């Protein structure tokens, strides 16, 4: 009479452990990929949200700087994003008024004048660094 032993053989146990480890590894890789994607998306959302405020700050600083300046720079933070910028005047234009009368001289000194600036902006947030180049206009009105 033969007695049947209950339980798993060593080979069956090893095969089941290998299968279990393969499943756990696959699932953890999927979750890891999803987590990394979520972190990247979160960084870019923060970055994109803050860039509008950064641009507004840079524009404000350029437009409110003394008009005789030809080079400007600044730094700051906005929404967890730090930034550094510099600007150079690349073009200047004013209303042309000719004449030597008192009224012509007064109009020459108070006429509209415009400056075109080349702006370089570097923005950094959570290890992401982006550089931007754009043009901005400032003016001195009557």
Q: What is the mean pLDDT of residues 44-57?
A: 89
Report pLDDT digits (tens) over 81-127: 999 999 999 999 876 555 565 655 555 555 678 999 999 999 998 88
Whether the Cβ atoms of residue 124 and residue 82 lie closer than 8 Å to each other: yes
Whether the Cβ atoms of residue 80 and residue 46 lie closer than 8 Å to each other: yes
Q: Does pTM surpass 0.75? A: no
- pLDDT higher than threshold 50 for residue 142: no
For residue 134, the number of C-alpha atoms closer than 13 Å in the C-beta half-sphere is: 12
According to DSSP, the residues that pair with 16 across neighbouring strands are: none
Report pLDDT digits (tens) over 10-49: 999 999 999 999 999 999 999 999 999 998 888 888 888 8
């Amino acid at each position: 009479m033969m007695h049947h032993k209950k339980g798993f053989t060593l080979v069956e146990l090893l095969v089941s452990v290998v299968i279990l480890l393969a499943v756990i590894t696959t699932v953890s890789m999927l979750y890891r990929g999803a987590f990394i994607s979520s972190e990247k998306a979160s960084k870019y959302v923060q970055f994109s949200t803050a860039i509008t405020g950064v641009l507004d700050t840079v524009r404000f600083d350029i437009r409110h700087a003394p008009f005789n300046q030809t080079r400007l720079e600044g730094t700051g933070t906005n929404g967890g994003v730090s930034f550094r910028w510099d600007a150079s005047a690349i073009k200047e234009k004013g209303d042309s008024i000719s004449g030597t009368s008192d009224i012509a001289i007064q109009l020459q000194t108070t006429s509209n004048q415009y400056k075109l600036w080349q702006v370089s902006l570097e923005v950094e947030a959570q290890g992401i660094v982006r550089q931007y180049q754009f043009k901005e206009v400032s003016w001195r009105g009557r």
